[in-house]
A = this chain, B = another copy of it.
């Protein structure tokens, strides 16, 4: 780690020059707020014990001194003394370190069909279960590409739940803890027919939307029924490059989605493209089946339609879609805030039986961070 080559302080801030020449300038208030001493933080779990209202806004630095790797700061006002490990200061300093962000488009590998010319991200399920390396690689694929295929998963009903329990928790919905995707009589959703389905994300009418979807193939003897995946973050990025105004409209004009059957009435008011404070994409939604009546103001609506159609047209481009036929024993796991999926129509002879289930991204990312920390 880096050591401190020199430092100085005044009432307002502590300025550090590191051995590699990097500079940190740290506000007294930030230092007090981030005190790591046992009176300020629970030593066992790191939870903060003090409230921001415990700290006077005009708090200043009365003294600062360095001994080995320990920077001691004494504060005006309450005379509180904080000791900071210099490694902690370097790793946490807001001048030199970015925020943690593994969910926005910023750190991800956006892809198109050609990105996988050497094969799709996949893993044998037995490997996944028995080797931390395989598990880490698999979850990293979900983080970076938004999806992964597991093969060799037992073709048993309910096995999908066990897969989820390896990294997180099942999100039960009105479709049940798991749902069967096959042709049914009087289906409540077009998914349960043999029709083709255009590229979409599931459940945009649900807030919060389930962050992960799994589809496990138990039987596949029909002709047709190929699966299609595509990267919604890439599509949003293309939209932004081709027409920034269209991108802005779809992120700033929130619309209604809805799904209704005899036992449910699910509604959400959300945007097609959800962005963060840095205008980075964090979630996308798209599902022509469940867009509710558009009730944007008349002048917005006139501009919205061309933007909406442009986005939909990008989502239909062949070069953005990967097409493959899920075989019995294969399971695809994908980020339902990023990856659109579709399927081609299939024959009525033969059987196509998938089981699906939802989960959330928090559990998967938590498991991944644990695996990366212990690697």
- Residues of chain A having any CB pair with chain B under 8 Å: 25, 27, 29-30, 33-34, 42, 44-53, 55, 57, 92, 94-95, 97-104, 169-174, 186-190, 198, 206-209, 211, 252-256, 258-261, 263-269, 271, 276-278, 288-298, 301-302, 305-306, 308-309, 312-313, 316, 360-363, 365-366, 369-370, 373
Contacts and interface: CB of A to CB of B under 8 A. Distances in A.
A42 B260 CA distance: 12
A50 B362 contact: no
Nearest to A362: B206
A363 to B, nearest CB: 7
Contacts of A268: 103, 362
A261 to B, nearest CB: 6
Nearest to A253: B277
Most buried by B among A55, A98, A208, A289: A208
Given A288-B51, A289-B48, A94 B189 contact: no
B207 A302 contact: no
A291 B92 contact: no
A206 B362 CA distance: 6
Contacts of A254: 99, 276-278
Nearest to A12: B302
Contact of A260 (B46, B92, B277): B46
7 contacts: A30-B305, A48-B291, A50-B288, A100-B258, A103-B268, A173-B362, A268-B362
Contact of A97 (B57, B104, B295, B306): B295
B369 A267 contact: yes
A97 B292 CA distance: 13
Contacts of A97: 295
A265 B370 contact: yes
Contacts of A172: 169-170
Nearest to A98: B295
Contact of A290 (B47, B271, B363): B47
